[in-house]
Amino acid sequence: MRRALLALPLALLACVQTPELRPYPWKLVSIGGKPFAATATFALDESGKRVSGQAPCNTWSGRIVTTPSPEWAIRDVVSTEMACPDLAAEQEFYAGLARATHMAVGIGYLRLTDTKGFTMEFVPLAP
């Protein structure tokens, strides 16, 4: 009987589901040193191998591949294909992602850069 009572908490713990980890979203505020008026987001998944977000018009995702260390690149980007009233901002966003080779994260910011000084600045997206 005592063994059964000791086993009960363990059995109940096995039934508890772990909360799903979600990517932490960031909002783009500037690109190439200029304010970015459209809405675009960036989120890195918990594995650190996939990225996703919302471009000015479409939802997107891709994977991170390492190139000669410490550089990396976002590859295999796919997106929805909705009609877009702000196609120029959409294209500027995707072009920036294609240029990014480095990422820095600090308190209140995420920065994507390349080796020539190009920068995309993100701030935490309010819940």
**pLDDT at 51 (0 to 100):** 94
**pLDDT at 119 (0 to 100):** 97
Of the CATH numbers 1.20.1090.10, 3.40.140.10, 3.30.930.10, 2.40.128.270, which one belongs to the domain with range 21-124? Answer: 2.40.128.270
Give 80-123 as a DSSP string.
Answer: -----TTHHHHHHHHHHHHH--EEEEETTEEEEE-TTS-EEEEE
**pLDDT at 17 (0 to 100):** 44
CB atoms within 10 A of CB 95: 12
| Gap between the Cα atoms of 114 and 105, Å rounded | 15
Quote the pTM value. 0.77
Categorise residue 47: left if φ over 0, alpha if ψ from -120 to 50, beta otherwise: alpha
CB atoms within 10 A of CB 60: 22
One digit per residue, pLDDT tens: the chain, 127 residues? 545 444 434 343 344 443 444 568 999 999 999 999 999 999 988 888 899 999 999 999 999 998 876 788 899 999 999 988 899 999 999 999 999 999 988 899 999 999 999 999 999 997 6
Judge contact between 64 and 48, C-beta under 8 A: yes
